[in-house]
Structure 1
Amino acid sequence: MSNNKLNKFFVVGIGASAGGLRAIEEFFDYMPSDSGAAFVVVQHLSPDFKSLMKELLERRTQMQVHRVEEGIKLEPNNVYLIPPRKNLFVHNGFLSLTEQDVNPRLHPNYPINLFFESLAKDYADKAIGVILSGSGSDGAQGLPSINEAGGLVFVQSPTTAEFDGMPQSAIATGVVDRVLPPKELAKLIYDIVQMRKVRSPVQDNYTGEIDPKHLKEIIEILNASEKIDFSYYKINTLTRRISRRYSIAGFADLDNYIIRLRDSKEEQNLLLEDLLIGVTSFFRDPEAWKILETKILPNIITHLGEEQLRVWVTACATGEEAYSMVMLLDKVMQQMGKNNSIKVFATDIDTAALSSIW
């Protein structure tokens, strides 16, 4: 989550690789220079040739284009380009650089993933991640971080990309909000940023909190439709997820969105998917797993005797945490010389996520 509560503008992170130049140019051809967002382009660059991206983009946009230097501050209506041989991060609104590994065959560099992850931490629901043409899968690991933080995730349609590896990998994460050609992505992002700018102070109130009356209406609609009660959900989480959903749906105010939500089963399902946040991975949150391995599980197993060990993994999403638990239990059992039987239960209210496990 962002520690920089003063962030008032969106930051759009654009990841591209092979074939990305044409897509980037098309994107900025259709992005007005007064959007109010900052744009950070993270492209895979050859270390052996000077990049002409700055000069090329200056022909496509009236925004000021910068080659990133250490400590440069992000400003709205500016474009920032990663230099060759560098990884790029953002912290408290300032960009920083580190050297890439000199032997990528031994230690592959994934600069798009790294930037997206830092963008999610710093800008939270003001982060937008975009994947354009490229081979490989860079960016796919970073996109879920943006989604989980309440940001938006967009991908170039594979049929319009010169190389569809990165777009296809991004789509496979299941967290992508829209898949469109570059020019349509530019128009959509511009519209979303403008809608967020014109929302009334009553709705946003500088904290982003939704009016309690609107929030109660939305909770009641979902409860009646899906039999799921979100009234005990964290208010900040509800606010972020609802805001991102009605932005994507093209609504500038909640009153009209609630009318649509009440009448549309499809929109109810889409909002539900956003609220359930099915982002997961194997051994997610390594520190917690380390405590389980070294302290909690050994203590439980020591006092278990010959009984079966039963573990319940709630909110298991697509199962990665449940499988992680099984692998960790097997490891700890072997280390302790135990052979107790193990049974792991995994549950989730997201039936679509559960159906993908098997």
Structure 2
Amino acid sequence: MALEDNNDKIDNTTVTDDIPLVVVGIGASAGGLEALQGLVANLPPASGMSFILAQHLSPSHKSMLVDLLEKNATIPVLVAVNKVKLLPNTFYICPPNYNVEITRDNLITLSATSEIRHTPRPSVDMLFESIAFAKGESAIGIVLSGTGTDGSRGLRAIKGEGGFGIAQDPNTAKFDGMPNSAINSGNVDLILPPDEIGIELKSIVTFPRRVPLEIETTVPRELYSGILRKIKRRQKIDFTLYKESTIMRRIERRMTALKVPKVQSYFNYLDENEAEIEILFNDMLIGVTSFFRDTTAFLRL
């Protein structure tokens, strides 16, 4: 299906200049077709999000993914084209024997791969890392059925930039290697069957706490300090001197995942669910995309 043939189907009404485009990267491998069919059939048709898929494919076979997915899809399904700008409410598929990335200008970048393949193609990690770098908190990564660990490193990058991670429930996956690897990495916010992911995506981007809080004026000091005390008691780490805005973003993300709208309610939830303290603690320790941001300076040092 040509891009030009689908422009009339694309609903741009949910995106404005004031709202950054949310880009959802999706990674799948063996057994991914069934998961993808359940996912695209239940995507919100006017979410304003753009979806891009890296599915491990044989470079010697013509992909039928577009034909297979568009039958029940709620939005247009297209083959990704190099240097084409991402459109909202559109699902893009990376062609075989290419890696796919996006730029900060929301452009698709395809790079051809050599015949000697040492890693899966297209690389889910490469896609996720580019989305993390380009979109920051407007990045979402989804890992579906497949073998191996592709996508886990990329989810770490997305989480490190304040984005959101989702994995298919391994019990619903034909091959649970990729989902389990993602979950075990500690970088997954939600674990869901594919047909339920679309509903959650809509709630993630419309959740009222998506906008960063000014903690001094919005969150009572006693609640913020109380959460840090709970973490210190259980994990033996004191976050008191850490940057408050960063910690609040981690708290907000956990509240989003749990659909808890009030800080007081989340504070009470921590009392009733000690395991959540450990999850929040691990979320705070997620590293950024690159620790040595000023490489030249560190090499000189």
Residue aligning to 1:163:
175
Q: Tell me what 1:323 maps to.
A: none
Return the letter of the residue paired with 1:46.
S
Which residue does 1:95 correspond to in 2?
Answer: 108
Pair 1:240-2:252 in alignment: no
CA deviation map 1:87-114 (0-9, x unaligned)? 1111112111111122114x66461010
- Native 8 Å contact 2:25 2:51 kept in 1: yes
What is the aligned partner in structure 2 of residue 214 from structure 1?
A: 219
- After superposition, the Cα gap between the structure-2 partners of 1:84 and 1:226, relative to the gap in structure 1 and judged at 3 Å, is closer
* Consecutive unaligned residues in structure 2, runs of 5 or more: 1-16
Q: Within the alignment, does 1:25 sit opposite 2:34 as a pair?
A: no
Q: In the superposition, relative to structure 1, how do residues 252 and 72 fare at CA in structure 2: closer, same or farther (>3 Å)?
A: farther
> Aligned letter for 1:134?
G
1:70-126, CA deviations, whole angstroms, 9 ceiling, x for partnerless residues?
122223211111111111111112111111122114x66461010111111111122
1:219 Cα offset (Å): 2.1
- What are the equivalent positions in structure 2 for 1:204-283 lying under 5 Å apart? 204=211, 208-212=212-216, 213-214=218-219, 216-227=221-232, 230-252=239-261, 254=263, 256-258=265-267, 260-261=269-270, 265-277=274-286, 279=287
Instruction: Return the offset for 1:8.
Output: 2.0
Deviation at 1:155, TM superposition (A): 1.1
Q: Which residue of 1 aligns with 2:83?
A: 71
CA distance in 2, matches of 1:123, 1:16: 21
Task: Give the letter for the 2:221 counterpart.
Answer: K
Check the 8 A contact 1:101/1:108 in 2, yes or no.
no
1:180-199 per-residue CA deviation (whole Å, 9 max, x = no partner) reads 2111223222222232xxx2
2:26·2:142 contact (CA, 8 Å) conserved in 1?
Answer: yes
Q: For residues 71 and 252 of structure 1, do their structure 2 counterparts lie closer, same or farther at Cα, with a shift above 3 Å needed?
A: farther
Aligned 1:135-154 pairs, distance under 5 A: 135-154=147-166
Alpha-carbon distance change, 273 to 286 in structure 1, aligned in 2, over 3 angstroms: closer
Partners of 2:219 and 2:272 lie apart in 1 by 16
Instruction: Tell me if structure 2 keeps the 8 A contact 1:219–1:230.
Output: no
Opposite residue 216 of structure 1, the aligned amino acid is R
Larger Rg, first or second structure (1 or 2): 1
2:187 to 175, 181, 184: 175
The CA distance in 1 between the partners of 2:274 and 2:300, in whole Å, is 46
Q: Is 91-100 or 208-217 further displaced after alignment?
A: 208-217
Distance in 1 between the 2:150 and 2:201 partners? 22
Letter of the structure 1 residue corresponding to residue 252 of structure 2? S
SS of alignment partner, residue 141 of structure 1 = helix
1:261-316 CA-to-partner distances (Å, cap 9, x unmatched) read 57654544433332233x499x964976x977x765xxxxxxxxxxxxxxxxxxxx
Provide the aligned length of Structure 1 versus Structure 2. 279
Match of 1:34 in 2: 46
Q: Is the 8 A contact 2:83 2:107 kept in 1?
A: yes
C-alpha change, 1:163 and 1:268, in structure 2 (3 Å) is closer
Which amino acid in 2 is paired with 1:169? S
Cα offsets for 1:5-35 (capped at 9, x unmatched): 9762322111001110110000112222122
Q: State the secondary structure of the residue aligned to 2:153.
A: coil
Task: Report the alpha carbon displacement of residue 42 of structure 1 after superposing the two structures with TM.
Answer: 0.9
Query: How far apart, CA to CA, are the structure 1 residues paired with 2:45 and 2:243?
Result: 36
Q: Distance in 2 between the 1:241 and 1:15 partners?
A: 24
- TM-align CA RMSD: 3.0
Greater displacement, 87-96 / 176-185: 176-185
Q: Which moved more, 1:173-182 or 1:118-127?
A: 173-182
Give the partner amino acid of 1:102: E
Partner Cα separation in structure 2 for residue 215 and residue 146 of structure 1: 29
Q: Which amino acid aligns with 2:224?
A: I
**What is the correspondence of 1:9-24 to structure 2 with a 5 Å cutoff?**
9-24=21-36
Q: Structure with the greater relative contact order (CA < 8 A, sep ≥ 6): 1 or 2?
A: 2
In structure 2, give the amino acid aligned to 1:99: A
Structure 2 residue identity aligned to 1:219: Y
Return the offset for 1:239: 3.6
TM-score relative to the length of structure 2: 0.80
